[in-house]
Structure 1
Amino acid sequence: MFLLNQNPNYRKPLDPVDAETLGVKAAEEVERYLAHRENHAPTPLHSLPALAVELGVGAIHIKDEGSRLGLGSFKALGGSYTVIRLVLEEAGRQLGRIVDIAELRTPEVRAIASGMTFACATDGNHGRSVAQGAQLVGARAAIFVHSGVSDERVAAIARFGAQMIRAEGTYDDSVAEAARVAAEKGWIVVSDTSWPGYERIPGLVMQGYTAMVREALRQLPERPTHVFVQAGVGGVAAAVAGHLALSLGNLRPTFVVVDPARAACLFETARAGHPVKIDHGEPTVMAMLECYEPSLVAWRVLSRVADAFMTVDEEDAIAAMNCLARPVGNDPAIVAGESGGAGLAGLIRAAADPRIRVALNLDEASRVFVINTEGATDPERYTELVGMRPDAVATNAEGADA
C-alpha cells in the first residue's frame, strides 16, 4: 500500500518544541554526550552501486547501525542518552547547580543515580539501550517485555543487570503495564512512544537518534534526494525526517515512512488523518516494528515532514535481509536483522512500481538514503531466515573490504 501525505499540516513548520528537540543545536549536544562514551564510534555508511543500477536509481547509501555502542541497533542512541540526561538533571536538582556530562562518573552523581530506577517496555532493542544506560550511571532498570519477545533478546537485556518483567499481550500492552507499575513504585518511565501528558522523555529518545543523521550527512558524498525509513511507533522516522527538514530546509529529500503491512499503525494514521490504534493480528517477522499505535510526538512531526507512507510485506523484509547478506556485484555484505532492512524493502518495492516511481519522482538520477536499523539481534532467527549465520555474513563483508 502507498499513500501520499494529504494531512492539512503537511509542509507546515514543526511545532516549536519539536523544532528545538530535533534541531541542529540539539543534535550537536547529543554528539557531545556521545564523545564521553568509551565505546562510541560513528557507524559506517556503505554505498550499494550495483543494487542502484538494478533498481534504476542513481545511488543508494545505507547507514549500518549494527555496531552502534555494542548494542546492535540505532536504539542505543536513544534510551541510554535519555537515562544519562535524566540522571544529570536530577543531580543538578539535588546539588543545586548545573551538572555536566563530564561529571557522570563522579561519586556524587553515582550516589544520586543509585536511588533511581528506569522502566520501559520493549520489543528488544530499546530496552537494551535503557538497561545499558542505567548500568553505565549506576542506576537500576526494570524492563517489561511481551510474550512475543524471544528468550535470546531477553537475555541480551538481562546481561546489563536489568530486572526483566514479562507482560501479557502485545507491545502496546507492555507499554501500559510498564506505565502502571512505574507509577505505583515511583520509577521513571523511559518510553520511545508518547501519549497525552507524556511527551518530553520520548522527545529526548528521538533527540538521541539525531546523532545518526548528523553522522550520515557528513559521510554522504552528496545530499540525498530520497529517504526511506522504517517505523514502529514512528520515533526514528520522525527524528530522521524532522532533523533533515530542519537542517536542509527547502533542499530536504523526499521522505517515505515504511510500515510492516501487519502492523501499519502509521500508514493507517496517515490514511485517517489522526492517530489511530489498529487491531492486533498475525505477528510480523519485523518484530522491532510490531506496534499498533503511533507515538503522538512522532505523528505530530511526520504529519508535517513525511511526504509518503507505504507498507511492506513479510517476504519483502526477508528478501531485503537476503539482498544485503548476498549482495549483487561488488556491493558489500551487510548483516541486517528482521526489521533492519525494512526501509530498503520499501525502496525495492517502490522502485518496482511505476506508479510509485512517478509519485515520488524516483528515477535514474535519484540518490537514496536508507538505514539498517539493526544487526542480527536474534542470531538464531537471522540464520533461519537468511540461511547463513550472521558471523559468516560479516566475515564475507570483511573479506570484501580487504
Structure 2
Amino acid sequence: MVLLNATADYRQPLDPRDAETLGPAAAEEVERHLSVRENHAVTPLVALSGLAREVGVAAIHIKDEGHRLGLGSFKALGGAYAVIRLVLEEAGQRLGRTVDLAELHSQEVRAVAREMTVACATDGNHGRSVAQGAELVGARAAIFVHSGVSDERVAAIARFGAEMIPVEGTYDDSVREAARIAEAKGWIIVSDTSWPGYERIPGLVMQGYTALVREALRQMPEPPTHVFIQSGVGGIAAAVAGHLAIALGDRRPVFTVVDPARAACLFETARAGRPVTIAHGEPTVMAMLECYEPSLVAWRILSRAADAFMTVDEVDATGIMNRLARPVSGDQAIVAGESGGVGLAGALKAIADPVIKAALSIDHRSRIFVVNTEGATDPGKYEEITGLSPPRSPRRTGKEL
C-alpha cells in the first residue's frame, strides 16, 4: 500500500526548532564529535548498478550502516552522541562554564559523569548505542528491554556494562516503564522517541543521524531523486527527510517512509493526519521497526517533509536480506539485518507496481537512495533467514573515544 501525503502541513517549512536541530550547523557539530571517536570511519556508499539496470532506473545507492562505530547500526550515531552532549552540558552547569568536547576525559568531567545514570527502552540497537556512550564517558546506563528482544541483542548491550531491566509487553510498554522508573530515580531518559513535554533529547538523537546524510551527499555523484527510508517511531526517516529538505531545498528528492505492514504506525498516522497508536498484533520479523506509536517530533517533521508512506510485508524484508546477500552480477554483497534493507524493499516494491511507480514519478532517470540501517545485529537470526554466516565482528578491546 502507498499513501501520498495529504496533511495540512505538507510542504510547509520545518518548524524552526527542527530546522535548527537538523540544519548544517548542528550536523557539523555531530561530525566534530565523531572526529574524536577512535574507531570512527565514514561508512560505505555502495552503488547497486546491476540492480538498477535490472529494475530500469538510473542508479541505486545504499548507505551501509552495518559498519558504523563497531555497533553494526546507524543507531550508533544517535544514542552515544546524545549521552556525550548531555554529560558535557551537565558538567558545564556544575562547573559554571562552557565545557568543550576536548575536556570529556578530564577528571572534573568524569567526576560529573560518574554521578549520572542514563536510561532508555530499546528493541536492541538504540540501547546498545546509549550503553556504549555511557561506558565511554564513565556514566551508568539502565536499559529496558521488552520480551521481544532476542537474547543475542540483550547480550550485545550488556557487554558495555549496562544494567538490563526486562519489561513484559511491547517496545511501547518498555518506553513507558523506562520513563516511569527514570522519573522516580532521577535518571536521564535518552529516548529515540518523543512525547508531550519530552522533545529535546530525542532531537539530539536524531541530530546524530544527520552525519550519515552529509556523508552520503558527499559520496554520491549527483543528489538522489527518490529516497526510501524505513520507519519504527520515525526518527531515522525524519532525520534524513528533514536534513535533505534543508540541504537541497527545491531540489529535494521524493521521500517515501516505509513501514512494516504489521507495525505501520507512521502509515496509519499519515492516513489519520495526526499521531495515532495502533493495536499490537502479530510480531514482525522487522524487529527494530516494531513500534506502535510514532515519535511526536518525528511526525512533526515527516508531515512536512515526507511525500509518501508505504508498507512492506514480511516476505519483502526477508527477501531483500537474501537479495543483498546474493546480489545480481557485478554488485557488491551487503549484510543486512531483518530491518536493514526495508527501505530498499520498499523501493523495489514501488518500482514493480505501475500505479505506485507513477504516483512517485519513478522512471529510467530516477536515482534512488536507501540506507542499510543495520547489519547482522542478531547473527543467529541472519543465518536462519539467509542460510549464510555473517562476517565476525572485530574483537572488542575496551573503551574508545
Same fold (TM > 0.5): yes
**How far apart, CA to CA, are the structure 2 residues paired with 1:106 and 1:333?**
43
* Residue of structure 2 equivalent to 1:194: 194
SS at match of 1:194: coil
What residue ranges of structure 2 are gaps of 5+ in the alignment? 394-401
Instruction: State the Cα distance separating 1:344 from its structure 2 match.
Output: 0.4
Letter in 1 for 2:370: V
- Displacement of 1:245 in angstroms is 0.1
| Matches of 2:127 and 2:36, distance apart in 1 | 21
Q: Distance between the aligned counterparts of 2:212 and 2:85, measured in 1?
A: 18
Find out whether 1:154 has 2:166 as its counterpart.
no
Instruction: Give the deviation of 1:55 after TM superposition.
Output: 1.3
Moved over 3 A (4+): none
CA distance in structure 1 between the partners assigned to 2:355 and 2:297 by the alignment: 31
Measured in 2, the distance between the counterparts of 1:13 and 1:223 equals 21
Does residue 369 of structure 1 match 2:369?
yes
Instruction: Report the alpha carbon displacement of residue 4 of structure 1 after superposing the two structures with TM.
Output: 0.3
Task: Report the Cα distance in structure 1 between the residues aligned to 2:28 and 2:213, rounded to whole angstroms.
Answer: 11
Tell me the equivalent position of 2:23: 23
> What's the counterpart of residue 13 of structure 2?
13
How many residues align structurally?
393
Which SS does the other structure have where 1:119 is aligned? strand
Structure 1 residue 46 corresponds to structure 2 residue 46? yes
For 1:237 and 1:349, the matched residues in 2 are separated by 18
**CA distance in structure 2 between the partners assigned to 1:258 and 1:247 by the alignment:** 22
Partners of 1:320 and 1:348 lie apart in 2 by 9
> Residue in 1 aligned with 2:144?
144
Aligned-pair identity in percent equals: 77
Q: Distance in 1 between matches of 2:94 and 2:174?
A: 32
Shift of 1:390: 1.1
2:391 counterpart SS class: helix
After superposition, what is the alpha-carbon deviation per residue over 1:244-296, rounded to whole angstroms, capped at 9, x for unaligned? 00010000000000000000000000000000000000000000000000000
Structure 1 distance, partners of 2:181, 2:158, is: 19
Give the equivalent residue in structure 2 for 1:34. 34
2:305 is aligned with 1:310: no
**1:1-400 superposed matches below 5 A:** 1-391=1-391
| Cα distance in structure 2, aligned partners of 1:189 and 1:117 | 9
Unaligned runs of 5+ in 1: 395-402
SS, match of residue 207 in structure 1: helix
Q: In structure 2, how many angstroms separate the alpha carbons of the residues matched to 1:189 and 1:223?
A: 36
Which secondary structure state, in structure 2, belongs to the residue aligned with residue 60 of structure 1? strand
CA–CA distance in 2 between the matches of 1:325 and 1:218? 26
Q: Which amino acid aligns with 1:203?
A: G
The CA deviation at 1:391 is: 1.9
Cα distance in 2 for residues equivalent to 1:55 and 1:196 = 43
Distance in 2, Cα, partners of 1:151 & 1:366 = 41
Shift of 1:31: 0.2
- TM-align CA RMSD: 0.8
Paired AA for residue 257 in structure 2: V
SS at match of 2:228: strand
SS at match of 1:332: coil
Q: Distance in 2 between matches of 1:20 and 1:245?
A: 13
Give the whole-Å Cα distance in 2 for the aligned partners of 1:198 and 1:56: 44
Distance 2:339 2:222 in 1: 26
Q: Over residues 287-326 of structure 1, what are the superposed CA-to-partner deviations in whole Å (9 max), with x where a residue is unaligned?
A: 0000000000000000000000000000000011011000
Report the counterpart of residue 398 of structure 1 in structure 2.
none
Secondary structure of 1:255's match? strand
Q: Counterpart of 1:231 in structure 2: which amino acid?
A: S
Partner of 2:396: none
Mapped to 2, the partners of 1:318 and 1:53 lie a distance apart of 22
Deviation at 1:53, TM superposition (A): 1.1
SS at match of 1:247: helix
**Partner of 1:390: helix, strand, or coil?**
coil
How far apart are the structure 1 equivalents of 2:257 and 2:53?
23
